[in-house]
């Protein structure tokens, strides 16, 4: 999963997404990861966003606060 700060310029986000797609769908990279028993699967940005929104919408306010504290240090 690729996490970026809010307000990241669109062209930078698109560059990062394209780079992640290139790396995570490269057969040699995937094969090497598999040999090291690492799970690699590219999921497109829109699907990833939908999955994360689903997870976030189903957690309690307390858990959201904990996650916010871990991610943002607040």
Residues 13 and 4: beta-carbon distance below 8 Å: yes
Q: How many domains does the chain have?
A: 1
User: Do the domain assignments include residue 63?
Assistant: yes
At 27 the pLDDT is 96
End-to-end CA distance of the chain: 22
User: Is 2 a residue whose pLDDT tops 90?
Assistant: no
At 3 the pLDDT is 85
User: Do the domain assignments include residue 57?
Assistant: yes
User: Do the domain assignments include residue 4?
Assistant: no
Dihedral, 53, 57, 59, 61 alpha carbons, nearest 10 = 120
Domain range enclosing 35: 10-72
User: Do the domain assignments include residue 1?
Assistant: no
**Surface-to-core class of residue 42, CB atoms within 10 Å of its CB (0-12 exposed, 13-18 middle, 19+ buried):** middle
- Tens of pLDDT, residues 4-55: 888 999 999 999 999 999 999 999 999 999 999 999 999 999 999 899 889 8
State phi, psi for 44 to the nearest 5 degrees. Answer: -60, 155
User: Do the domain assignments include residue 26?
Assistant: yes
Question: Tokens 């992640």, residue?
Answer: 20
User: Do the domain assignments include residue 2?
Assistant: no
């Amino acid at each position: 999963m690729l996490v970026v700060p809010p307000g990241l310029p669109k062209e930078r986000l698109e560059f990062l997404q394209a780079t992640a797609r290139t790396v995570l769908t490269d057969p040699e990279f995937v094969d090497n990861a598999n040999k090291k028993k690492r799970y690699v699967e590219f999921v497109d940005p829109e699907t990833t966003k939908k999955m994360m929104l689903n997870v976030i919408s189903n957690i309690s306010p307390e858990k959201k606060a904990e996650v916010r504290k871990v991610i943002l240090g607040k």
